[in-house]
Amino acid sequence: MEKYMYKNGKKLRCGFTTGTCAAAAATAAVLMIFTGEAVDKVSVRLPKGEIWSINIKEPTFSIHGVRCCVKKDSGDDPDVTDGILIYADVNLDDSGEIHISGGKGVGYVTQKGLDCPVGGPAINSVPRKMITENVQKICTEYGYNGGVNIVISVPEGEEAAKKTFNPQLGIVGGISIIGTTGIVEPMSEKALIDSLKVEMQVIKERGYNTLLAFPGNYAEKFIDNTLGIRSENSLKFGNYLGEVLNFALELDFNEILIVGHIGKMVKVAGGMMNTHSHTGDFRMEMFACYAGLYGAGSSVIAEILSCAATEQAVDILIREKLKNKVISKISERALYYINKKVDNRIKIKLIIYSNNHGILN
């Protein structure tokens, strides 16, 4: 079964989550136990009620039970788990319950703040529910009231996890079995935003009430090389400053230090809380506006408006001896919009830097 969505005029294929893989593998294995026949495809109900048909690989009977696996398919939004095999080993017991545990390649949780208890496998609550409900449905159809023991494993999981945020989140030894809808949407912003909230929850559980937030790798490098203040309360937020500020309110952070390149922060000074280029780009207009406010002539304004990069605009401001006034105003306006977003309930500090000229404000 395939599902598509359209984004920016393109038809993109959806995939399915590691949670859906685990649920399908477990469901197929239980079905094989009751029928005694190998299964090559199984239908699973996703969290929102959709029914997906998933291909099953390596259906195997043994004296220990049944093993099945599903090949992860991320659709047109491939990630580090795309193409890996997710296994379910299933046997029956007399417990009367469906028990789900993690095997090789499924990480285990070492810190609070996640959707799994400390010490347990990183199998989130929604996938657990999906596995349980689909397996229970098969058991009911065959009149079985006993227990089912399910072990989810991912042989390539430990290696794949090195390319994820799991180590920073306190998940060690493998990947997470995750997914809130069961479906991977191509180029999903929701997945990125959800991961930011999880990171912030972990930072909060570590005991931090302050947050060091920065947009990306360049800012990270600047902080390391110039400020030297990064620690376990650091968060890379990409373009999603607005969402991070909302989460900071929800999680009761007291203080945030935001470190950002002038190219990002000049957008925030115009009220943009998502700084991606597809949202808008009025960087040069902002520079030109404040340069004109502080005395720049029409030729200088035109020169700024013709700049392709903010570093060029900063060079012009320095040449015209307008840098301090214009950057001060940009910083003031950025802080205004940030403070407005958090309703002045969080103490905000802002450092704006340039690659060529260091700290600007």
| Domain boundaries along the sequence of the chain | 4-184, 189-359
Q: Which architecture characterizes domain 4-184 according to CATH? A: 2-Layer Sandwich (3.30)
Radius of gyration of the chain (CA): 25
- Compute φ and ψ for 357, nearest 5 degrees: -125, 10
> Which of 55-59, 178-182, 186-190, 333-337 is least confident?
186-190
pLDDT tens figures, 69-101: 999 998 776 678 999 999 999 999 999 999 999
Q: For residues 161 and 141, give the distance between their C-alpha atoms in angstroms, rounded to a whole number.
A: 37
Q: What is the pLDDT of residue 75?
A: 78
266 versus 11: the higher-pLDDT residue is 266
Query: What's the farthest any 2 CA atoms get from each other in the chain?
Result: 85
pLDDT tens figures, 147-172: 999 999 999 999 999 888 788 778 89
pTM of the entire predicted model: 0.69
Three-state DSSP at 99 gives strand
Q: Which residue bears the tokens 């990270």?
A: 220
Q: Which residue bears the tokens 């009367």?
A: 96
Average pLDDT value for the chain: 91
Q: What is the pLDDT of residue 20?
A: 95
